[in-house]
Amino acid sequence: MSEGRSSRTGDVHAVIHDIEVFDIHEPGDSGTEGGCFCYEVTATVGHVGSRGGDHFIVRVCSPKYVANHWQEVKGMWGLVPMVKGDGEVVSGTGLWLTEQWDEDAVTEAIRALVARSSPGSTWAEIGARIGRSTTWEFEYYRD
């Protein structure tokens, strides 16, 4: 059996190697107690049998944080303007919203996402599936 594959030919399975959480509150934000928070969560995910993995990043923020930091959020986080002007609409991946920070719930959401995305016929297929809800470090590698 080759590395990262199950006994069924062609199935590659993903495994989470690490999940790191970084607080990206701005000075003056009230923090989780005041309902204004944002964390950058990086999951290192690889295939079964691998020593390392690719980074999948998500920013988990409160709606209040997004509202208070809208210009920064839409300008720096890879959100793409779809319509500009008074009725501005932006699109993007890797931004998850929650009204209450719960690290265990976020970790469980990442585990569920990886479980739903695996197995696949190739690692690239699994990575693309996970990357639909996160920012994958290799998302635009071929563009």
Q: Kindly report, residue by residue over 87-117, the tens digit of the pLDDT.
A: 778 888 889 999 999 999 999 999 999 999 9
Alpha-carbon gap, residue 29 to 36, rounded angstroms: 6
- Residue-level pLDDT at 115: 97
User: What per-residue string of b and e applies to 80-105 under the rule 16 or more CB within 10 Å gives b?
Assistant: eeeeeeeeeebeebbbbeeeebeeee
- Residue-level pLDDT at 63: 92
| Residue 51 belongs to a domain | yes
List, for the chain, all residue ranges whose pLDDT scores fall below the cut of 50.
Answer: 1-8
SS3 content of the chain, % helix, strand, coil (to 5): 30, 30, 40
Split into its structural domains, the chain has a count of 1
- Residue-level pLDDT at 29: 58
pTM: 0.83
| Residue 142 belongs to a domain | no
Domain enclosing residue 38, as ranges = 14-136
- Residue-level pLDDT at 69: 87
- Residue-level pLDDT at 82: 79
- Residue-level pLDDT at 2: 34
